[in-house]
Amino acid sequence: KAGVTQTPRYLIKTRGQQVTLSCSPISGHRSVSWYQQTPGQGLQFLFEYFSETQRNKGNFPGRFSGRQFSNSRSEMNVSTLELGDSALYLCASSKLAGTSWGYEQYFGPGTRLTVT
C-alpha cells in the first residue's frame, strides 16, 4: 500500500509570494491533517479535513488555508509569504475523522519550504 505522498518535496519562494502544497493520502483514508514543523516551535497543527470539510483549525493566521477534494487529496495554500513561514510542512492521513477519540495518523515526508 502506497504511503502518503507530498509534492513538491522542496520549494524556495520569495517574501510576498504565495505557495500551494499538495498531499495525497493513503488509499481509503478520508481524513487529512496538515502540520508545520520548525526548530523553534516544533510540530504545530494547521488544520484537518474530512470529506471535503474542515473539521479542526489551529492557531495560524488566515494566510494559511486548505481544501480537500472528493478523492481525499488535499492542498494547502499560504499567501503573502513571510520569512517565518520557512518550515517543513507535513501532511498526515487517517482512516477516520475521529470524534472525541482520535486515530493513528500516517505522515508524509513533508515539503521543505524556504522563504527568502
Partner 1 sequence: SQKIEQNSEALNIQEGKTATLTCNYTNYSPAYLQWYRQDPGRGPVFLLLIRENEKEKRKERLKVTFDTTLKQSLFHITASQPADSATYLCALGGGGNKLTFGTGTQLKVEL
Query: Which residues contact partner 1 (rule: CB under 8 A)?
Result: 4, 31, 33, 35, 42-45, 48, 55-56, 58, 90, 92, 94, 97-110
CB of 6 to partner 1, least distance (A): 8
Cα separation, 69 vs 90, whole angstroms: 18
Which among 83, 90, 81 has a CA at the least distance from the CA of 110?
90
Cα separation, 10 vs 12, whole angstroms: 7
Q: Decide whether 58 or 73 has the Cβ nearer to partner 1.
A: 58
Q: Hey, which bits of the chain come out as E strands?
A: 5-7, 10-13, 19-24, 31-38, 42-50, 53-57, 64-68, 74-78, 87-94, 106-107, 111-115
Q: Decide whether 9 or 15 has the Cβ nearer to partner 1.
A: 9
Contact 6, 112 (CB under 8 A): no
Q: Decide whether 17 or 91 has the Cβ nearer to partner 1.
A: 91
Q: Decide whether 18 or 27 has the Cβ nearer to partner 1.
A: 27
CB of 87 to partner 1, least distance (A): 13
CB of 94 to partner 1, least distance (A): 5
CB of 73 to partner 1, least distance (A): 17
